[in-house]
Amino acid sequence: MQLPTSEPIHVLATAVFKYDASHHNVEEVNAAAYNACSSSSPITRATSGQTTISLDTSGKRYFICGISNHCSQGMKLEVDVTESSSTSPSPPSSSTSNTTTPPSGTTTNNNNSGAGSLSPAHAMVAFVGLVVLKLGIF
């Protein structure tokens, strides 16, 4: 599964997985286990139904559902965490234009299609079906 966003996920983001603990779990695995859908030696395994994971280092992170064949049926997630940009945004130009651009991170999606948006700083992932929703507090 790919995250439905073109915006990067930066270091210090938080991934929140919500899932039915009687049918699913969240396992962080290495790249080889992710590609093979193997849950034999996960880095971590969570079974609470709501799992918060701090994405505190840059690099790829891999998450799967380790129950039965759920991973091979698509319940897996690769997250590429990047360093934050240290540059400030440039000031708006002084040209007179009648177009308005909404502030970054204000998109909302109220449908139940399974797709959503992510703010660059936070992601909320509901693990049942791996629904990705925006966490709009930052």
Written as six digits, the tokens of 34 are 């992710």
User: What is residue 115's predicted lDDT score, i.e. its pLDDT?
Assistant: 36
Interval 28-53 mean pLDDT: 97
What is the per-residue pLDDT for 63?
96
Closest CA to 75 of 14, 27, 40, 113: 27
Q: At the topology level of CATH, where does 1-84+114-138 sit?
A: Immunoglobulin-like (2.60.40)
pTM for this structure?
A: 0.59
Sign of CA dihedral 76, 119, 107, 110: positive
For 31, phi and psi rounded to 5 degrees? -60, -40
Give me the chain's average pLDDT, please: 70
Q: Which residue ranges make up each domain of the chain? A: 1-84+114-138
Q: How many CB atoms lie within 10 A of CB 30?
A: 14
